[in-house]
Amino acid sequence: MTARLKIRAAVLISLVVVMLASLYVLELRGKVETTETVTSEIADAFLGLERAIGYSGLIHYFKNAVLRPNEPVYLDLGAQAYATAIAEMARVQTLLLQAELTLDASEIRTTIDAYGHALDAIRAAHAAGTAIADVDRLVRIDDTGAQSALISLHREIDGLLHLRQRAAAQLLSIGLTALFLLICSLITAIIYLGWQRERKLLLTYERQRVELAQEKAHAEAIGTLLTRLETANKEQAEFTYAMSHDLKSPSNTIRMLIDELAEMETLTPEGREMLADMRATNQRMCRLVDDVLRYSQIVDTPMTVETVDLTALIKEVKADLASEIAQSRATVSTSALPTLMGNQMQLRMLFQNLISNAVKFRAPDRRPLIEITSERAPDGLQIVIADNGIGIPETFRDRVFGLFQRLNAQSAYDGTGLGLTICQRVMSNHQGRITIGPGIDGGTAFAMTFPETLL
């Protein structure tokens, strides 16, 4: 694990710890508030208990009931004060249980019950006509212990609740301090991560700046090389065109001289045979010069694009090759072909070369069959010219597109070795590709794929 990942993990852990600490602090705060609430309720309950049994409550009414036999209302008020005191005592005991405080309040409860029961004795004594002094001696209750127990219980409860409040406050203070320290650590880690990220971005920016500078230098160097290459290609094309053009005149002159020599009556049969060989050689040289001229024009001349009707174009090519097709008794079938954007002259050369080759490289034991089809491909339009000729072995299918490459002897099949090179160049000019596959009955199939942009 890298240092950066470790820091991120630490930050995540810190976040979790901060969340847990926050929950703990909230819980402590709740406990403190609960303790304060319980303390307030217990204090209020003790105050109510003291009022119920003090000199404004049960004891007050008890003494008046003794001293005023002609006013029985004090007996009723005393009974009510007794019931109130019992209720307040129960409330105090309930709050003590909730606060988990175990304190002995039995003496207070016993004294309250004694006052409550003595009210019945007072009522009976007054009804019997007993003297007030005798009644007072009869029902006198020693509540000194209960008062001391009440004061002591009050102090104990105050002390315990104070200790609990203090402990809860200390825990809350410790929790808040720890939470503050964790938040400070988290902020420090986040700041450090931000600094690390900024530093990485600066390094990335500097590296990209250097790479862009290098790429710019490379692009300038490549641009210079491309300019030189274009100049060299142009000069080579011009040179090739000039040489091919200059070679045509001597070839035509040689053809004229051969024709004149052939008209001489003094030639021997051996001489006429030699002239025939010379004529055939000169014709091959003329075809070669024509093919070189066409190739140089394709390489050097800027391509103009127009709408080309492929069905009409194939029809014209078949008309130009009518003599060869008839002589070989070939069948050329064409499906419906679409129109596309391209160079009319170059596409004409493409299809003429391929159909001419299909007729030329026919199998000797069967009539030539040539099928021209088209279909939509995932990346454009594919046109296939398939034949049942002699075929091209798979190992030589890439080689045949090279300059002056031939797979058969000149004596078997005439040609210059530039036809398929021209076809490949035409497809390259149209941003397409040409491939070779198996044809009909072991023949050859040339598949030409034109891009979607030309459709």
Band of pLDDT at residue 351, cut at 50, 70 and 90: very high
Q: Quick check: 320 and 397 in contact, CB under 8 A?
A: no
Band of pLDDT at residue 372, cut at 50, 70 and 90: very high
Distance of CA 209 to the CA centre of its chain: 27
Classify the phi-psi angles of 104: left when phi > 0, otherwise alpha if psi is within -120 to 50, otherwise beta. Answer: beta
- % of the chain with per-residue pLDDT over 70: 66
Amino acid identity at 451:
P
Architecture of the domain defined by 303-454: 2-Layer Sandwich (3.30)
Say how far apart CA 65 and CA 50 lie, in whole Å: 20
Q: What pLDDT sits at residue 11?
A: 59
Mean pLDDT of the chain: 76
Residues, the chain, total? 455
Q: What pLDDT sits at residue 147?
A: 67
pLDDT at residue 60 above 90? no
pTM over 0.95: no
Q: Quick check: 337 and 374 in contact, CB under 8 A?
A: yes
Determine which of 128-132, 196-200, 391-395, 404-408 has the lowest per-residue pLDDT on average: 404-408
Q: Quick check: 384 and 374 in contact, CB under 8 A?
A: yes
The domain defined by 3-196 carries CATH number 1.20.120: yes
Which residues on neighbouring strands pair with residue 381, listed in sequence order? 376, 450
Outline which parts of the chain fall under CATH 1.20.120.
3-196
Say how far apart CA 78 and CA 122 lie, in whole Å: 11
Band of pLDDT at residue 369, cut at 50, 70 and 90: very high
Residues 6+ apart with CB under 8 A from 248: 286, 289, 293
What is the DSSP-derived secondary structure letter of residue 302? Answer: P
pLDDT at residue 232 above 80? no
Residue closest to 85 by CA, chosen among 122, 57, 43: 57
Band of pLDDT at residue 134, cut at 50, 70 and 90: confident
Q: What pLDDT sits at residue 133?
A: 81
**Residue given tokens 């304190």 in the structure block:** 103
Residues 39-44 have a mean pLDDT of 73
